[in-house]
């Protein structure tokens, strides 16, 4: 297993924590070289905070760990293709790379719907690598949404 696959494995562990909380299972880690300096998972429902995406929380923690908001030299690993908010934050942080697992054809802004980190008009360029351990990342999402649909059907039949 190479370094990037290993780091995505750490993001997958974070996604599992989100799943256990009933959150959409997205996990993220920020690495500086081989060292993970920050990790997080989705907490939107738990915190009742629209911005509590795994990526945002991990970038904030990385900034705290390094004592700076500019994260040059750091790489973000996230299990789902970032949305516009998270892709924009990654670009603003001046990351060395953004690596994600599952593609998001509905809201992904790192290649699927839009290519925000590649849009130099917005102040920078962040190299993106998508599809890293994609099957494992997608399997967690499929599990979550399957269980959610099942619960929704059960609640409709009981009503």
Q: Is 14 one of the catalytic residues?
A: no
Predicted structure pTM score: 0.94
Residue 128: per-residue pLDDT: 97
d(CA 142, CA 147): 8
- Report the chain's mean pLDDT, rounded to a whole number: 95
Catalytic residue among 23, 55, 75, 81: 55
- Work out the average pLDDT over 50-73: 98
Which pLDDT band, with edges at 50, 70 and 90, does 84 fall under? very high
Residue 148: per-residue pLDDT: 87
User: Of 26, 24, 1, which Cα lies nearest the Cα of 12?
Assistant: 26
The token pair that represents 6 in the structure block: 């290993």
Residue 97: per-residue pLDDT: 98
Question: Which residues sit opposite 102 in a β-bridge?
Answer: 80
The H or E element that residue 45 is part of is: helix 44-47
Which pLDDT band, with edges at 50, 70 and 90, does 123 fall under? confident
Residue 158: per-residue pLDDT: 77
Q: Is the pLDDT of residue 157 over 70?
A: yes
List, for residues 110-120, the tens digit of each pLDDT value. 999 999 999 88
- Work out the average pLDDT over 103-130: 93
Residue 159: per-residue pLDDT: 64
């Amino acid at each position: 297993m190479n370094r990037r696959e290993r780091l995505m494995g750490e993001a997958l562990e974070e996604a599992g924590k989100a799943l256990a909380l009933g959150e959409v299972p997205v996990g993220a880690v920020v690495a500086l070289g081989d060292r993970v300096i920050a990790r997080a998972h989705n907490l939107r429902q738990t915190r009742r905070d629209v911005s509590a995406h795994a990526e945002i929380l991990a970038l904030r923690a990385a900034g705290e760990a390094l004592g700076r908001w500019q994260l040059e030299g750091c790489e973000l690993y996230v299990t789902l293709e970032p949305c516009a908010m998270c892709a924009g934050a990654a670009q603003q942080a001046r990351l060395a790379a953004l690596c994600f697992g599952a593609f998001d054809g509905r809201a992904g802004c790192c290649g699927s719907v839009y290519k925000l980190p590649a849009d130099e008009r917005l102040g920078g360029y962040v190299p993106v690598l998508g599809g890293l351990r994609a099957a494992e990342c997608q399997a967690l999402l499929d599990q979550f949404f399957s269980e959610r649909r099942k619960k929704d059907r059960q609640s409709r039949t009981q009503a």
